[in-house]
């Protein structure tokens, strides 16, 4: 007995390619293919590139695409228009935002983050800080300790809103407010909240945000990242990655860089047009979705999944917060043989993923999952656990990408 929504989730599910018999609980790693994507990319290749060639930068609107897509994402993350552009990878956008944020607090030397942040964010910070010199410090604390560690020493508070392993959700509003009160800049990574949770960047007065579009946004493998800079800062920040498409006049070919207007300055090089065509299609689907309803539906399905799995599989320990309001749109279970158990489950066509050391991770994505999928997934997990299928040797072999 589910709630009535304005968003027609059943109709939206029909807009995705979902292989027969497969239950896909890994949309928080790589979202599935929208049915319309292939044809749109074909048009981009055959008509735009093939027939228009170089002229397509104007005639097909390629040059304006990165920020046009940014504006399409804005509603989903509660951003003002004209404050998001797309391109590059999430790691590059983290670097860009962090470099800009640090320059806004030149007298401070600490970047504060937590051990629940995605490692690449920490790596990019390490790389940047090492370039900037020895007196900078990346301070990584436990997620629960962030609020206490947020002092006036902190130049930038850099957090991923949802922990990629546990799904634990940070309180963006409270931490952003606290950061402002101590004069720290905020940088939020929305990798696991864009398209999964009604992010409210403007309401929270976040300074910077970044995210990827290949997870919940369903933009495809290697889809472009995005970056947000709040209105009060976007004309003020210096882009450390000062590429020609962020220049005020790219085609003047001046020898000196002059930052472009607003968010345009966060563009760097030539955008990946085929990937952007694919993302454009998936955003057509997102236009049909109310984000608060998405959240309600995510909680419904997640609660059902937890209840079903816990009832059927006593060996699995819930590794996500039990309270839905403290959790993003994923459910994780800990199990010592989690790697092998996930391989066994994938062999049964339930696709989740594994995160070291012992996390079995399941993305709950209301755009293409319903109660039937959730229940079936739990049934198959039960089979894997009851019969200890994970003991089979073939499931113990580690693949390159896990």
Residues 69-128 that bind a second copy (CB under 8 A): 88-92, 95, 99, 115, 118-120, 122-124, 126-128
Position 355 contacts a second copy (CB under 8 A): yes
3-state secondary structure of 85: strand
Kindly state the smallest distance separating residue 92's Cβ from a second copy, in Å.
6
Is 95 a known active-site residue? Answer: no
Q: Residue 397 interacts with a second copy (CB under 8 A)?
A: no
Catalytic residue at 361? yes
Q: Which of 221, 322, 336, 392 binds a second copy (CB under 8 A)?
A: 221
Query: DSSP letters of 119-182?
Result: HHHHHHHHHHHHHH-TT-EEEEE-GGGHHHH--TTEEEEEEESB-TTT-BBP-HHHHHHHHHHT
- Residue 396 in the binding site for a second copy (CB under 8 A): no
**Greatest extent of the chain over all pairs of C-alpha atoms, in Å:** 68
163 given a catalytic annotation: no
Quick one: which of 82, 222, 321, 324 contacts a second copy (CB under 8 A)? 222
Q: Which of 16, 24, 95, 118 is catalytic?
A: 118
Name which of 117, 236, 104 is nearest 183 in CA terms: 104
- Residue 312 annotated in active site: no
Residue 347 is a binding residue for a second copy (CB under 8 A): no
**Alpha carbon distance 96, 85 (integer Å):** 12
- Compute the least distance from the CB of residue 222 to a second copy, in Å: 4
* Rounded Cα distance, 1 and 15, in Å: 24
Nearer to a second copy, 95 or 197 (CB): 95
Residue whose tokens read 């049934």: 379
- Using CB under 8 A as the binding rule, the residues of this chain from 265 to 304 that contact a second copy are 268-276, 278
Is position 142 an interface residue for a second copy (rule: CB under 8 A)? no
Instruction: Name the one range near a second copy by CB under 8 A: 74-82, 129-137, 226-234, 365-373.
Output: 129-137
Q: What are phi and psi of 171, to 5 degrees?
A: -85, 95
Residue 118 catalytic?
yes
Cβ neighbours of residue 209 closer than 8 Å, sequence gap 6 or more: 77, 79, 97, 187, 188, 189, 190, 199, 201, 227, 228
- Looking at the Cβ atoms of 81 and 127, the one nearer to a second copy is 127
State how far the Cα of 96 lies from the Cα of 83, in Å rounded to an integer: 15
């Amino acid at each position: 007995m589910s709630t009535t929504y304005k968003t027609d989730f059943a109709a939206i599910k029909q807009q995705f390619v979902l292989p027969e018999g497969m239950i896909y609980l890994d949309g928080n790693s790589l979202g599935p293919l929208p049915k319309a994507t292939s044809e749109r990319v074909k048009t981009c290749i055959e008509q735009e590139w093939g027939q228009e060639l170089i002229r397509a930068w104007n005639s097909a609107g390629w040059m304006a695409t990165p920020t046009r897509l940014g504006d399409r994402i804005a509603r989903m993350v509660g951003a003002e228009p004209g404050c998001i552009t797309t391109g590059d990878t999430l790691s590059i956008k983290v670097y860009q935002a962090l470099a800009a944020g640090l320059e806004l607090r030149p007298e401070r030397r600490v970047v504060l983050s937590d051990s629940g942040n995605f490692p690449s964010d920490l790596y990019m910070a390490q790389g940047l800080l090492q370039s900037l010199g020895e007196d900078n410090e990346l301070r990584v604390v436990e997620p629960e300790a962030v609020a206490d560690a947020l002092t006036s020493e902190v130049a930038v508070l850099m957090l991923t809103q949802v922990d990629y392993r546990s799904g634990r959700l940070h309180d963006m509003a409270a931490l952003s407010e606290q950061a402002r009160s101590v004069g720290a800049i905020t940088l939020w990574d929305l990798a696991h909240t864009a398209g999964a949770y009604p992010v409210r960047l403007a309401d929270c007065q976040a300074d910077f945000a970044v995210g990827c579009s290949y997870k919940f946004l369903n933009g495809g493998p290697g889809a472009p990242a995005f970056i947000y800079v709040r209105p009060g800062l976007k004309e003020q920040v210096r882009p450390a990655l000062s590429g020609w498409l962020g220049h005020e006049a790219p085609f003047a070919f001046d020898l000196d860089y002059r930052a472009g207007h607003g968010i345009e300055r966060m563009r760097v090089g030539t955008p990946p047009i085929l990937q952007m065509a694919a993302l454009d299609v998936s955003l057509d689907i997102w236009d049909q979705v109310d984000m608060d309803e998405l959240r309600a539906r995510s909680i419904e399905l997640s609660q059902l999944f937890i209840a079903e799995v816990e009832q059927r599989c006593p060996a699995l320990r819930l590794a996500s917060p039990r309270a839905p309001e403290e959790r993003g749109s994923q459910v994780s279970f800990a199990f010592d043989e989690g790697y092998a158990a996930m391989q066994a489950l994938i062999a049964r066509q339930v696709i989740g993923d594994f995160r070291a050391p012992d996390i079995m991770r399941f993305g709950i994505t209301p755009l293409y999952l319903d109660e039937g999928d959730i229940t079936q997934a739990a049934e198959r997990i039960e089979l894997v656990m009851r019969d200890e299928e994970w003991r089979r040797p073939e499931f113990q072999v580690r693949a390159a990408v896990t």
